[in-house]
């Protein structure tokens, strides 16, 4: 039943639309809504005997490739905030190329949908040799990465067939947010924040249902962009990863050049590309970086940039006050969960662009779902 396309034309489309359900499955049994005297908390069975070691580690290193790397990048800020442990990021192949330092006191977290990616697996073997505690976050029970890591969490997103990962990405972020809550532990000082995140997680499937209603709007936008050569996506903070992942989706399935850009780096190069022709998506939903993103939008307007701004519901008029732009309005969720919502319109955009451009959406040329060679 799971590998049936049902009412959908393509697996990627089906997998985008089933995210309310896949996220519900990912969270099942892991969030505990306390009664009046019991605080809300989380439970990750596969990690409970290792949490103390993780909390005491010198740093947490996230290791992955492609979309899985982007998911880890999206979760990094909340993990840093709640755990207080430094978190660094490694693309698996680059860690191996550099033979970068991994220590016994490190916790190395391997993120992989398939659990079989060769680069990630080799990085795991390298981290094991160096004595780090190795944690796996995979979607495939019994996969080699799940078996070789010391402990881990399955994301339970269900079978993903489309080569471009969609529902696994959102489930990975959610699992890593729960991981951050588990490592952070309950303290009086972070109780309010924890409860807001847990409430946000409970509400997330509904918020995704909401954002999926943008399907037609994203199809209309895809029609406008169909003949473009290039698309830039600007993000920062929690949504730097969303910019990278949105651009990766467009690149891999719609076969259009696309680049995710850290908005804080705009003036150090990307600004040179801005003119009235190049379409630019700017992610400017409400969080601590919002005013900085507003200023980015103003600077892009000043250079006559062709803007598509993603903002929180109700912010359309204020984000576009400085010039013409198209707006994608999304529901507000707790900041660290916003990337889960924000990526969905970009997945839809990539999907529609691909279909309209006449390319194979489920099996893009030259790409494989699981890359088992180095
Ligand atoms: C391939 C797939 C991507 C995926 C990456 C990592 O490149 O086409 O969609 O993100 O591998 O795969 P993994 O299974 O390790 O998450």
Distances (CA, A) of 18 to 13, 22, 92, 210, 302: 9, 6, 29, 13, 40
Question: What are the structure tokens assigned to 3, written together?
Answer: 């590998």
Given a contact cutoff of 8 angstroms between Cβ atoms, the answer to whether 67 and 74 are in contact is no
Atom number in ligand 1 closest to CA 164: 9
CA-proximal residue: ligand 1, atom 5 (nearest): 66
Q: What percent of the chain lies above the pLDDT cut of 70?
A: 98
Residues in the ligand 1 pocket, defined by CB under 6 Å: 65-68, 112-114, 117, 120, 163-165, 367, 369-371
The best mutation among 144, 162, 370, 374 to test binding of ligand 1, ranked by most ligand atoms within 8 Å of the C-beta, falls on: 370
Of 47-56, 143-152, 289-298, 360-369, the one with minimum mean pLDDT is: 360-369
Three-state SS string over 29-83 comes to: CCEECCCCCCCCEECCHHHCCCHHHHHHCCEEEEEECHHHHHHHHHHHHHHHHHH
Taking residue 195's Cβ as centre, other Cβ atoms within 10 Å add up to 15
Q: For 7-17, what is each residue's pLDDT tens digit?
A: 999 999 999 99
Atom number in ligand 1 closest to CA 68: 16
Q: What is the pLDDT of residue 373?
A: 85
pLDDT above 80 (res 30): yes
pLDDT above 50 (res 1): no
Taking residue 257's Cβ as centre, other Cβ atoms within 10 Å add up to 13
Give the span between the Cα atoms of 148 and 335, in whole angstroms.
Answer: 33
Q: 136 C-alpha vs ligand 1 centroid, how far in Å?
A: 15
Max CA-CA distance within the chain? 58
pTM exceeds cut of 0.80: yes
Q: What is the pLDDT of residue 324?
A: 82
Atom number in ligand 1 closest to CA 367: 8
Given a contact cutoff of 8 angstroms between Cβ atoms, the answer to whether 311 and 293 are in contact is no
Give the span between the Cα atoms of 285 and 312, in whole angstroms.
Answer: 5
Q: How confident is the model at residue 35 (pLDDT cuts 50, 70, 90)?
A: low
Indicate if ipTM > 0.90.
yes
């Amino acid at each position: 039943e799971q590998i049936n396309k049902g009412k959908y034309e393509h697996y990627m489309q089906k997998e985008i639309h089933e995210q309310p359900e896949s996220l519900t499955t990912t969270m099942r049994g892991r969030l505990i809504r306390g009664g009046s005297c019991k605080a809300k908390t989380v439970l990750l069975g596969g990690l409970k005997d290792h949490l103390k070691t993780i909390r005491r580690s010198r740093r947490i290193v996230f290791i992955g490739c492609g979309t899985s790397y982007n998911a880890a990048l999206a979760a990094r800020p909340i993990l840093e905030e709640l755990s207080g442990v430094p978190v660094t990021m490694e693309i698996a192949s680059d860690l191996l190329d550099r033979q970068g330092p991994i220590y016994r006191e490190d916790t190395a977290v391997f993120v992989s949908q398939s659990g079989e990616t060769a680069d990630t697996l080799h990085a795991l073997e390298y981290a094991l040799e160096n004595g780090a505690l190795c944690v796996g976050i995979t979607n495939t029970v019994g996969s080699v990465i799940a078996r070789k890591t010391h402990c881990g969490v399955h994301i339970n997103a269900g079978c993903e067939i489309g080569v471009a990962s969609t529902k696994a990405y959102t489930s990975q972020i959610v699992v890593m947010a729960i991981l951050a809550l588990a490592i952070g532990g309950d303290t009086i000082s972070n109780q309010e924040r924890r409860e807001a995140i847990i409430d946000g997680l409970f509400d997330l499937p509904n918020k995704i249902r909401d954002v999926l209603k943008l399907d037609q709007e994203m199809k209309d936008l895809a029609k406008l962009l169909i003949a473009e050569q290039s698309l830039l996506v600007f993000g920062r903070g929690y949504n730097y990863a969303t910019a990278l992942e949105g651009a990766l989706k467009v690149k891999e399935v719609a076969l259009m050049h696309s680049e995710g850009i850290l908005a804080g780096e705009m003036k150090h190069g990307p600004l040179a590309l801005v003119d009235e022709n190049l379409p630019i998506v700017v992610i400017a939903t409400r969080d601590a970086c919002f005013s900085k993103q507003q200023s980015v939008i103003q600077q892009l307007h000043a250079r006559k940039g062709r803007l598509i701004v993603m903002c929180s519901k109700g912010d359309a008029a204020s984000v576009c006050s400085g010039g013409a732009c198209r707006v994608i309005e999304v529901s507000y969720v707790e900041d660290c969960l916003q990337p889960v919502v924000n990526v969905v319109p970009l997945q839809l955009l990539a999907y529609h662009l691909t279909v309209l451009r006449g390319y194979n959406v489920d099996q893009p040329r030259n790409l494989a779902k699981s890359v088992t060679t180095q």
